[in-house]
Structure 1
Amino acid sequence: MTIAPDQSLTGDPLTDELVPLVTALADAVYAGDAARTAEIRAHAEAVVSARGADPAEAGWALATVAAAMVPGGAHPRLLLAWRAIPALQEVDP
């Protein structure tokens, strides 16, 4: 499926802007990169602030977008299975 650059994935401009940050955050978390995680949080705060919202809401906004990317009703053991399988913890550069 190809999405045109001007086509919304979510129907909300702020949420659309956070989607790439959430995917980058997932990569940073999987890699255990705390510094990159903090950079992404700071970027999200700037994005949220630029849209006129309280930058303190950035964490909640990131969590909400991330939750939308996870299949609802899935068991937490399944969602976190990558932590138990060492080969899945390796992140390609």
Structure 2
Amino acid sequence: LVRSPRAVLADEPTGNLDPRTGVRILDLLFTLQQETGFALLVASHSERLASRCRRILLMDNGRLDPAIPASPIAAPGPSLSTSE
């Protein structure tokens, strides 16, 4: 983030952190994104993290699932899960 990137990719950014530290890291990432405007792409299995994102894409066997359109998670519906 030192060089003011146009995009930041975060793969499971809180995966190995305790819950409190994870929340602090996410707060920092989302605050920096809002302040600087970089694109933030997050890969995660966490529904809680996904609920903070503006757009959500689901994957099935390593590919985007075309049956599920990109949409906010705020809409009521089934729980997110990977396809079997």
Instruction: Give yes or no for TM over 0.5.
Output: no
Interval of TM-score (by shorter of Structure 1 and Structure 2): 0.3 to 0.5
Structure (1 or 2) with the greater helix fraction: 1
**What TM-score does the superposition give when structure 1 sets the normalisation length?**
0.33
**What TM-score does the superposition give when structure 2 sets the normalisation length?**
0.36
Structure (1 or 2) with the greater strand fraction: 2
Larger Rg: 1
